[in-house]
């Protein structure tokens, strides 16, 4: 479990595990400008210009929870969030 705020600037989470949850306690989907998913990492860009990068050992299934309580899990097969 990780906590992140837009005011924290650029940050990197290392050694994340499958289904670790990242809680964005002051973010909404409107604050997200980009999501780049790779084999061993993913990064999320925000309107502030900051990025959060998450590194793992490969095949990570990102799970995000935003300020309104909504949760999203990335599906690597379909390339979509659900």
At 50 the pLDDT is 92
Longest dimension (CA), the chain: 33
pTM of the model: 0.79
pLDDT-derived band at 41 (thresholds 50, 70, 90) equals confident
Task: Provide DSSP, 12-69.
Answer: EEEEE-TT-EEEETT--GGGEEEEEE-SSEEEEEETTS-EEEEEESS----EEE-TTS
Q: Count CB neighbours of 73 within 10 A.
A: 13
Mean pLDDT across 13-33: 83
Parallel, antiparallel or unpaired: strands 2-4 and 41-46: unpaired
């Amino acid at each position: 479990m990780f906590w992140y705020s837009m005011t924290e600037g650029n940050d990197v989470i290392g050694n994340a595990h499958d289904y670790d949850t990242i809680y964005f306690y002051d973010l909404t989907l409107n604050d997200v400008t980009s999501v780049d998913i790779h084999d061993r990492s993913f990064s999320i860009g925000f309107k502030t210009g900051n990025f959060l990068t998450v590194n793992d050992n490969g095949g990570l299934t990102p799970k995000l929870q935003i300020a309104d309580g909504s949760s999203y899990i990335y599906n690597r097969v379909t390339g979509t969030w659900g």
